[in-house]
Structure 1
């Protein structure tokens, strides 16, 4: 369950956090709209394509069928015993990401291939975890991608939204105009593990100062840390260090480690001696599909089209090959 990131400094809602610690105001909660399945249409452009893949583990380049590659991605990004419709959702997301990357930048030009198994530069991949569930999910969505006005979308996803998804600008520091298909919606993430639903992360002042220095924000002491701006979902978008140094929320999270500072949907930040304690919910940037939300919706009988239509507004699921 990996996330990809982009940086910019958005200017959104203001909320100040005193150095001694205080509870943060909640962002405006949006009532979930009725789940409308994404419409589907045939847009077949040919047969299933082959895809060239850089195998990160061995350094070799392989050519395989697109659907075989997608199966490995689904198994790498989601547990293979999850509901079929959740796995089908992940298959459509993975296929969309791959097609969009190939169409817009040729895949992974630095590797001379169309894809890579290195999650840091493309998508997770684990062919060993492909089972009958994954194969079924991939086959039932064969050739399907998500489009908006005929073009593949940015098919963002994350582990858990903590109850509400983020806009692209607040969750990813997205540099371009906010995609119209991305809207902040309530997300049914209550099946997520306890340490994802609610968590605390403790960092020493030195850890934070070192992380800031690596990002070009050198400070000689950490006297205060304030959240000066928040986005529509309530996520921190700008931190203010020592009343003078501004750091974007996503940049700050990356600097401290995205597996430890699990999200920017923070309930409380407080100083405790030489440590700073963050209390929050969810895991990931919060943009697009929540995997734990997809799991819950699938268990409630929703289809992949329902799930995609809920998290991405105004999109179409197109079948590009048979």
Structure 2
């Protein structure tokens, strides 16, 4: 096995369309398990060196990475190394005997570390694409599912990967969930038995979108993203998806300000919203939108889902008004309001959180005096393959090719190597 030196991308031009396929290495930012951290711990098994090949990183020793004066500092019991703004740790050989752990989660391949937003340490894993997929499939679906279902997931994940490699990919649901070197035998078998296979249309790889459940009806890509409609993403009844109905009960008032006594010690810390599962994603989204400091949600004083909908009966637009308190660094507390009126529904769902507001396929919306009640079906955008639907097809004896043909009609499964010869 050869040593990983750096990210190496092959650019393949086919049918007047240029796309990038990593025959060797893919880069993926680690966010899902890591989060945003100013300190990380790492351990290595096997010989790892810095990119210059000179400095070894000691095995079986816990190293702490932290940010100091714009550089990453590596410390352990015996030494300190100032590693500038970024550095790469490279294994002597690429194999399963060389493993790097970041905050106790294991990864194969090389690992780059950079400073993000001036204070966080962001690991970036560099790993061969097929091994990357072995870390994706068992985290996108249950590894206990039938092999044919896992193969279908492997094809969708591989095709999605090569069509999104120009993006700044990470390991979250924004792209594909990636669990590193936490492999499962059946999922790895599915990847190996479909090695190099992708889903194509007119001899080009498709954007192989998929979601957990479409609620019984698929969606066209044009209705979800700003892109041209594709025939292999039809709106149709899905006879295999298990529907998965859900209910969201959202309290209007999250804090009662009349009960707040600012003269009491630690009054801010004692403020607890009624529904942390909803307010925590909301606070994170507000922070990303530029509201810095510690946030407490006071109320969702307005929420509305417009009655207009797509052919699939998924909602198009809605409105929301959020009132919150924000404590600045110096301790000042300010009252803030964010209001969105008659906007695309995909502006609203992330504020409430995709784990509770599970899809845009909404059957009913009710406003009561103290709460909102939303009932819907499915989990995710509904475009392309339903993972739960694929699991049922696998249980009923359908092959992975049957599953792909059902969820991406009109497409063809091809090996990348064969496409390069045409």
TM-score by length of 1: 0.70
* SS of aligned partner of 1:85: helix
Question: What is the CA–CA distance in structure 1 between the aligned matches of 2:405 and 2:414, rounded to whole Å?
Answer: 13
How far 1:64 moved relative to its partner?
2.9
Q: Which residue of 1 aligns with 2:144?
A: 81
Structure 1 segments of 4+ aligned residues over 6 angstroms from their partners: 207-211
The unaligned stretches of length 5 or more in structure 1 are: 1-46, 109-114
Question: What is the CA–CA distance in structure 2 between the aligned matches of 1:132 and 1:122, rounded to whole Å?
Answer: 23
* SS of aligned partner of 1:225: strand
Question: What is the CA–CA distance in structure 1 between the aligned matches of 2:383 and 2:246, rounded to whole Å?
Answer: 19
**1:282 aligns to 2:345 (yes or no):** no
How far 1:62 moved relative to its partner?
4.2
Could you tell me whether the CA contact under 8 Å between 2:213 and 2:241 is conserved in 1? no
Q: CA separation of 1:278/1:306 partners in 2, compared to 1, >3 Å: closer, same or farther?
A: same
Q: Which residue of 2 aligns with 1:53?
A: 27
Could you tell me whether the CA contact under 8 Å between 1:144 and 1:318 is conserved in 2? yes
Q: Which has the higher helix share?
A: 1
Could you tell me whether the CA contact under 8 Å between 1:264 and 1:285 is conserved in 2? yes
The unaligned stretches of length 5 or more in structure 2 are: 1-20, 35-101, 103-121, 255-277, 291-298, 322-339
Pairing 1:1-322 to 2, within 5 Å after superposition:
49-54=23-28, 56=30, 57=34, 58=102, 59-102=122-165, 105=166, 107-108=167-168, 115-116=169-170, 118-119=171-172, 122-170=175-223, 172=224, 174-189=225-240, 191=242, 197-205=244-252, 222=301, 225-239=304-318, 245-321=341-417
How far 1:189 moved relative to its partner?
4.8
Could you tell me whether the CA contact under 8 Å between 1:142 and 1:321 is conserved in 2? no
Q: CA separation of 1:135/1:241 partners in 2, compared to 1, >3 Å: closer, same or farther?
A: closer
Q: CA separation of 1:61/1:224 partners in 2, compared to 1, >3 Å: closer, same or farther?
A: closer
Q: Deviations over 1:156-182 (max 9, x none)?
A: 111111111112233x2x112212211
Q: CA separation of 1:190/1:95 partners in 2, compared to 1, >3 Å: closer, same or farther?
A: closer
TM-score by length of 2: 0.55
How far 1:147 moved relative to its partner?
1.4
**Aligned residues between the structures:** 256
How far 1:287 moved relative to its partner?
0.9
**Higher mean C-alpha displacement, 84-93 vs 202-211:** 202-211
* SS of aligned partner of 1:229: coil
